[in-house]
A and B are shown apart, each in its own frame.
Chain A
Amino acid sequence: MNGRLIRSLIGLILLCSGCASVSTKSSTRLDLIKKRDQLHCGVSGKIPGFSFLASDGSYKGLDVDICKAMAAAFLGDESKVQYRALTAPERFTALKTGEIDLLSRNTTFNLSRDAAGGNGLSFSPVVFHDGQGLMVKRTSNINKIGDLDSANICVGSGTTTEQNLNDAFQERELSYTPIKYQDLNQVVAGYLQGRCVAMTSDRSQLAAARSAFPDSENHTIMDVVLSKEPLAPAAIGNDQRLSDAMRWVIYALIAAEEFNITQDNIESKRQEAIDNPQMSSLRRFLGIDGSLGEKLGLSDDFVVNIIRATGNYGEIYNRHLGSNSSVPIPRGPNHSYLKGGVMISPPFN
């Protein structure tokens, strides 16, 4: 009897000391991803057009394609991704504790999240320029934000949305009552059931939610934009090699659109570059000359792998948010700078 007691005590102590061993810090997460041969990517999983479970059980959307592009660049295979569906409050802790390698989950890029004294993340370039909006019923005759004075407004918790709503109303000296739910589905239900006059979220999410309404033509997204919401992937702040690699994967997607390189013509463009030594910028971009990939800790042809996997930024956008997709959102500022948008890549030199 006593023997058993002592043995189980020893077992308990061993178990606890096992937990206590501090994992040794690897120099860069990029090496760990390569060693593991798999990328752990944090997504939302609940926003049509960005990351959503398709009928075949796989994740689809713009955020998901960013994960795929990263995996194609780091590992040469876009299918080597394990997706982790995260709620808004979970996401930064998941990143900090190393549960995920990178976050691609409609995350607004702002100072306090980026700074070492704040959340200490390192943001990649913006992949979607969004802004917070308000949706109301057409029959409500609400046309400007002043009409919403002392109204009930449905809002999701755990995001910058609440703060922006507050700032926008305070600035205009309007009052309101927030009805706060934990996730967007409940916000939508509260709004449709008439608890609130208006619901607020990023305009892309409002469009995504509205696409599922049975009477979507009866709801209108107001013209007023309450905030800038530049959505960007993020990695942990103290890992320059990983964040450099991520940054240039996004730039590769944007630059490929500038070069007019698509998933369909990548092989012929590559052949063309090989055959024409005078096309030096294209040759550098595709890794035929120079060793840009090596400087990032990636293979020199990482851009080719990315475009083969997902196509350029414009193709990703059209696939998930274009006019023929199920969540059509006008491209607006997300056009390439060549077409009047703000998407621009620094040179691949």
Chain B
Amino acid sequence: MKRKKQWLIQFAITLALLICIGIVINNLTVNLIRTDMWLSFNWLLRPAGFALGEHQLPYKPSDWYAWALFMGWLNSLKVIICGLVLATIIGVTAGACRSSSNSLLRAISSGYVALVRQIPLLIQLLFWYFVAFLSLNDTPLEPLGNLIKISNQGIEMMGLKLSVEFSALVVGLSIFTGASIAEVVRGGINSVPQGQWEAFRSLGLQEGKGLRLVVLPQALPAIIPGLTSQYLNLAKNSTLAIAVGYADLYAVSDTTITQTGRAIEGFLLLLISFLLLNLMITAAMEGVNRFVMQYQKST
């Protein structure tokens, strides 16, 4: 009897949900037809007619809109991948420092987290771009001799040239996300019982080595879910690129939408592209999670 009732409730909820979705789709369709804005994607194969500041594959303005959008997607991907790597390095370092026994390191890293988390990301990006990078001189700074050159035209690393827009965006996103990752890492480290610290210390291991070999591996299961959500945040926040003049997917869509007047289609494509990107990140992180779990079981 009880089971039947539960089944009925589930059925009712599913039905209600389907009805709601149906109504929304019907509403959209009816209104799109009424306002003469019914979806059409023919424009994707027309020449774009605008240039892009940077592109990963050959691109010229006479190429299709679809190709221009794909270039934007690749630019987004580039920022996201570089941002993920840099944010992880910054975040893990800062998170580990917060659990350190050295009080200076603790103070610096908690100061960093506190400062960065209080300021909106858009303002930080504008700061990195307009204040930090563009205020540099034309004569490049060379902090590591000839290895890295930083100027208001971008960063040059051993022949690899990064535009100033890209550099500012990656630095801004990584520092912002790094602060959140630091908190996730700290939480993970705190979840490891104190006894484990005492254990490796009593074995005579150094702090850093013990953290790396004993504590962090045990903290990983607690860190990875939080890390995944920070990675997804970074990917989504990368759409702020347009504020600092970087030609990411959103910036390219923006131009496409005004030139073609196809706002709804443009935003649908944007939604799908970001969904794809984030599903990729989620899938990859799930793989990592499974690996960590298996590794833990086997040891």
Q: Chain A interface (Cβ within 8 Å of chain B)?
A: 2, 5-6, 9, 12-13, 16-17, 19-20, 22, 25, 88-89, 92-93, 96-97, 112-113, 118-120, 154, 157-160, 162-163, 165-167, 170, 176-182, 186, 189-190, 193-195, 238
Contacts and interface: CB of A to CB of B under 8 A. Distances in A.
A210 B50 CA distance: 26
A158 B255 contact: yes
A290 B93 CA distance: 83
A9 B23 contact: no
Contact of A181 (B34, B152, B245): B245
Given A160-B259, A162-B50, 12 more contacts: A158-B255, A160-B258, A162-B259, A163-B49, A177-B51, A178-B51, A180-B245, A186-B245, A190-B130, A190-B245, A194-B152, A195-B134
Nearest to A22: B30
Interface in B130-161: 130, 134-135, 138, 152
Interface residues of B, number: 42
Contacts of B63: none
Given A13-B19, A22-B30, A159-B258, A182 B35 contact: no
Contacts of A12: 16, 20
A118 B261 contact: yes
Nearest to A170: B61
Contacts of B49: 163, 166-167
Interface in B15-74: 16, 19-20, 23-24, 26-27, 30-31, 34-37, 49-53, 61
A238 B36 CA distance: 10
A154 B130 CA distance: 14
Task: Name the residue in A93, A118, A120, A176 with the highest tally of chain B Cβ atoms < 10 Å from its Cβ.
Answer: A93
B27 A19 contact: yes
Nearest to B8: A2
B272 to A, nearest CB: 19
A16 B152 contact: no
A195 B61 contact: no
Nearest to B28: A20
Nearest to A92: B261
A311 B261 CA distance: 35
A17 B152 contact: no
Contact of B36 (A120, A154, A177, A181): A120
Nearest to A190: B245
Contacts of A190: 130, 134, 245
Given A166-B49, A195-B134, A158 B19 contact: no
5 contacts: A16-B20, A17-B23, A120-B36, A162-B50, A180-B245
B152 A193 contact: yes
Contact of A89 (B13, B20, B31, B254): B254
B181 interface: no
B23 A195 contact: no
Interface of B: 9, 12-13, 16, 19-20, 23-24, 26-27, 30-31, 34-37, 49-53, 61, 130, 134-135, 138, 152, 164-165, 242-245, 247, 251, 254-255, 257-259, 261, 263
Contacts of B165: 179
Task: Name the residue in B9, B51, B61, B244 with the highest tally of chain A Cβ atoms < 10 Å from its Cβ.
Answer: B51
Contacts of B13: 9
A180 B254 CA distance: 11
Contacts of A163: 49-50, 259
Nearest to B34: A22
The 8 closest A-B pairs by CB, nearest first: A193-B134, A119-B261, A158-B258, A20-B27, A162-B50, A16-B23, A182-B242, A16-B20
A165 B255 CA distance: 13
Given A22-B30, A194-B152, A182 B243 contact: yes
B259 A93 contact: no
A96 B35 contact: yes
Contact of B53 (A16, A17, A167, A178): A178
Contacts of A170: 61
A314 B12 CA distance: 67
A181 B248 CA distance: 11
B34 A88 contact: no
A17 B19 CA distance: 9
